[in-house]
């Protein structure tokens, strides 16, 4: 019986873009601020994280390493399946550059409205992304079910969405799941694991919020997104 805490990485450096597998960094100052906030979060709650799992991408891995050092924990486990979705030709390309060309901007707008029906060229399919994340998530659930201490997973907004969809039995093909739910940089999502059963405690809460571990607060649109 344990909790799995999903931490989204901090705001990346560089122009606004779809950063999937493009290995873009987060500033040292941003990471240090997140480390301080997470240490304060750990001090306020009853449970404690004893192990950290991270996406292999530098915006997560660097933060995970700094967290383990600050909390005197073993080095993080790197899980390749926890990396962000690959956005094909659009991955890492600045929106300002795409916006200048109508024929490139229109496919991006269609993808935002309905990523299943309008996949980006050469991108990872949403169904394949969901499958690989869910396989890794099941292994994490298995691990959490066999221990008392909590697990911290440092990953991406898209990965957190896929995990929540699996836990809440939501239809990942429903566009509402992508247009109505915001997973902020540096936010925490907490899932309680007991006997392989998962229960969402809260979703995408800023670490500086008071009473972070109080009752669950799920977005109102979740029932619509089924």
Domains and CATH numbers, the chain: 2-222 (3.40.50.1240)
Please enumerate in sequence order all residues whose Cβ is within 8 A of that of 97, keeping only pairs 6 or more positions apart, or say none: none
Confidence (pLDDT) at 215:
46
The rounded distance, in Å, linking the Cα atoms of 225 and 200 is 16
Question: What three-state secondary structure class fits 139?
Answer: helix
Confidence (pLDDT) at 222:
60
Block means of pLDDT (10 residues each) for the chain, 226 residues, are: 95 95 97 96 89 98 98 97 97 93 90 91 95 97 93 98 95 87 95 92 85 57 56
How many CB atoms sit inside 10 A of residue 44's CB? 10
Q: Work out the angle at residue 194's Cα, subtended by the Cα atoms of residues 191 and 197, and round it to the nearest 5 degrees.
A: 75
Confidence (pLDDT) at 57:
98
The rounded distance, in Å, linking the Cα atoms of 163 and 125 is 16
For residue 102, the number of C-alpha atoms closer than 13 Å in the C-beta half-sphere is: 0
188: closest CA among 49, 61, 83? 49
Confidence (pLDDT) at 211:
55
CB 60 within 8 A of CB 54: yes
Q: In the chain, which ranges are continuous DSSP H helix?
A: 28-44, 58-70, 95-99, 102-113, 126-145, 157-168, 176-179
Confidence (pLDDT) at 1:
78
Q: Work out the angle at residue 213's Cα, subtended by the Cα atoms of residues 50 and 62, and round it to the nearest 5 degrees.
A: 45
């Amino acid at each position: 019986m344990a909790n799995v805490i999903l931490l989204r990485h901090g705001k990346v450096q560089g122009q606004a873009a779809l950063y999937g597998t493009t290995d873009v960094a987060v500033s040292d100052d941003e990471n240090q601020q997140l480390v301080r906030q997470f240490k304060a979060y750990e001090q306020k709650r009853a449970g404690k994280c004893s192990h950290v799992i991270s996406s292999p991408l530098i915006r997560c891995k660097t933060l995970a390493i700094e967290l383990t050092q600050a909390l005197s924990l073993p080095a993080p486990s790197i899980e390749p399946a926890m990396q962000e979705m690959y956005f094909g030709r659009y991955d890492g390309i600045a929106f300002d550059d795409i916006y200048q060309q109508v024929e490139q901007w229109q496919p991006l707008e269609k993808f935002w409205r309905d990523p299943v029906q309008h996949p980006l060229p050469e991108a990872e399919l949403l169904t394949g992304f969901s499958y690989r994340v869910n396989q890794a998530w099941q292994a994490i659930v298995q691990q959490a079910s066999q221990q008392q201490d909590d697990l911290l997973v440092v990953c991406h907004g898209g990965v957190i969405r896929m995990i929540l969809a699996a836990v809440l039995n939501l239809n990942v093909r429903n566009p509402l799941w992508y247009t109505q739910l915001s997973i902020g940089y540096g936010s925490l999502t907490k899932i309680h694991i007991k006997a392989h059963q998962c229960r969402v405690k809260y979703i995408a809460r800023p670490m500086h919020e008071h009473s972070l571990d109080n009752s669950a607060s799920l977005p109102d649109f979740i029932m619509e997104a089924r």
